Copies of this chain bind each other. A is one copy, B any other.
Amino acid sequence: MIKKAKNNSPVNKLIEQRWSNRAYSPKEVEDEKLNSILEAARWAPSAFNEQPWRFIVGKKGDSNYDKILSTLVEWNQKWAGNAGVLILNITKNNFSRNNKPNATNEYDLGQAVAFMSLETVNQGLYGHQMTGFDAKKAAEIFNISDEYTVVSVIAIGYYGNPEELPEDMLDSEKAERIRKNIDSLLLN
């Protein structure tokens, strides 16, 4: 389903076409496409090229997928369980070179997942990030040490049938995408 951004200035098609849907088809995401999506994350910029981003990738039917799904809040489980892929997005807290705190480790993870989300569009797929999940539970289930912070989950897959969504989700699926005006984003 196309839900183009109502942008005021021209932007590239990947940004224009990306939106956070909830109607997913359980169709398998091909490994080739998933590899391109992860490759995109690799090439994000990061402070001192630390590349603090780490991922746990689940494909529908495997145990990573079921574990990630189990950490989502009920509302997100309802729709995300149809997506072919669920990825847990994690970031390393300290720099590897000197073990000092990396102040932009979450910021840089955000960049890597943003790159993933645009490559997702490039692959003809849809992505939807969530913070509505139990990060502590995820760290426990996957035995993730406190060297890392678990930040978000992204669902990736083929577009499904929106008419199968519960009514409240269908409303937001059809709603226009809204954003603040540029002026309200400029502090000076």
Contact = CB atoms under 8 A, between A and B. Distances in A.
A70 B131 CA distance: 36
B114 A110 contact: yes
Q: Give chain A's interface residue range (CB within 8 Å of chain B).
A: 35 or more
A93 interface: no
Contact of A108 (B9, B12, B110, B112): B110
Contact of A114 (B10, B44, B131, B180): B44
Given A11-B119, A104-B152, 18 more contacts: A7-B39, A11-B43, A11-B122, A12-B14, A14-B14, A15-B115, A15-B118, A38-B185, A45-B114, A45-B129, A49-B179, A53-B185, A55-B185, A55-B186, A107-B107, A107-B113, A110-B114, A111-B113
16 contacts: A5-B43, A9-B36, A11-B122, A15-B43, A15-B115, A18-B43, A42-B182, A57-B186, A106-B106, A106-B107, A107-B113, A107-B151, A109-B110, A110-B114, A111-B114, A112-B114
